[in-house]
Amino acid sequence: MENLLLRFLEYVSIDTQSDSYSKTTPSTEKQWVLAKKLVLELSKIGLDEVSIDENGYIMATLPSNLDKKVPTIGFISHYDTTPDFTGTNVKPKIIANYDGGDIVLDTTNNTVLSPDYFEDLQQYIGQTLITTNGKTLLGADDKAGIAEIITAMEYLVKHPELKHGKIRIGFTPDEEIGRGAHKFDVKKFDAAWAYTVDGSQIGELEYENFNAASAKITIKGKSVHPGYAKNKMINAIGIANEFLSLMPPREVPELTEDREGFFHVHTIKGDIETTIFELIIRDHDEEHFQARKDLLFDIEEKINTKYGDIVSIVIEDQYKNMKEKIEPLFHIIEIAEEAMHKVGVKPIIKPIRGGTDGSQLSFMGLPCPNIFAGGHNFHGKYEYVPLESMHKAVETIVKICELTGEKF
């Protein structure tokens, strides 16, 4: 576990925040710093066919050590971190033998990681927690996954008595802005299936995710002197508020769970003349997902009928529920589930309330469910990961490789 810890701490010290407004791939130049380091490390631990393309996509191979042909499988993680919270100057804290109490992350701002609010902490009493210092995110999403995959491959290289087929490794940029799979060369990767190591708490095994879309709503108003505005002014800010009032108030992230879908308004800016707000649409059910998009267009029509053509909506689909691509190949879930049982991890099979590279990859021809990386509270200053969970992820990856070799 010491090598795993040191590897992870080194990765999170490198800022790899992505940028949704950038048109390049990777979206930020700083992602190349970690990407180039990973290429060197994959070669150093003894993998073959190590490559990085012009867009920052990394691939490598652990050759088969079997005397029979079995399916090639893969493991994939992303090295960018969210643009929503700073990943600059990450300085983790190591909490050994966690006692179950409050963890003061930052005394200056009284930032406390407390089990009274984050109940999952109670699962990890006696373990080693890696936390933030209360000023940045940690970056376990998904540098924990990268550290686990590399550590697992290094272990297999050093233990040739453990039999496995050909294993492919892939690391991607820009997953956090929804582009992680956009330029992934599935044909070059050449695997029968893969696993993204990008889940949260220990035991997670996921093959369902949201159908997802983004929406941009633009409202054009008319600015008139407020003293003479009656029947003349159209305040775009007020119309935006009216639009939002016509959306279902309880179908938001903070009031939904499990397979419940939602609308999430994340950006709004404007003035009387022009107000723009952006939101994401999420639902596991395809029909409900379409109904959500239809609702926005219905509200657009209602407001335009009332005020004239002042509202315009652009909706872009982002990814689909990978369930339909995974269920016909359910043995890939059963292998991961058995691997977890064999290393002493209780599988938690549940839908992802979010997205993953695996969703897009599944529709690109690479079936790709998601397994745990171990972290909690991603994308903010309360993020943490238990070292023991990371170690179990390494063991799970190794066991998946062994079981695939045994079963085919």
Model pLDDT, residue 356: 77
Please report the pLDDT score of residue 178 as a whole number.
Answer: 84
Count of C-beta atoms within a 10 Å radius of residue 157: 15
pLDDT at 297: 98
Residues (pLDDT < 50) of the chain are: none
Catalytic hit among 80, 176, 383, 395: 80
Catalytic residue from among 141, 142, 154, 175: 175
Taking the C-alpha atoms of residue 217 and residue 268, their distance in angstroms, rounded to an integer, is: 10
The two tokens of residue 321 are 């529920």
Q: Is 80 designated active site?
A: yes
Residue the block writes with tokens 């589930």: 337
Interior angle at CA 99, CA 97 and CA 101, nearest 5: 140
Instruction: Say if strands 167-172 and 73-78 run parallel, antiparallel, or are unpaired.
Output: parallel
84 is catalytic: no
pLDDT at 12: 98
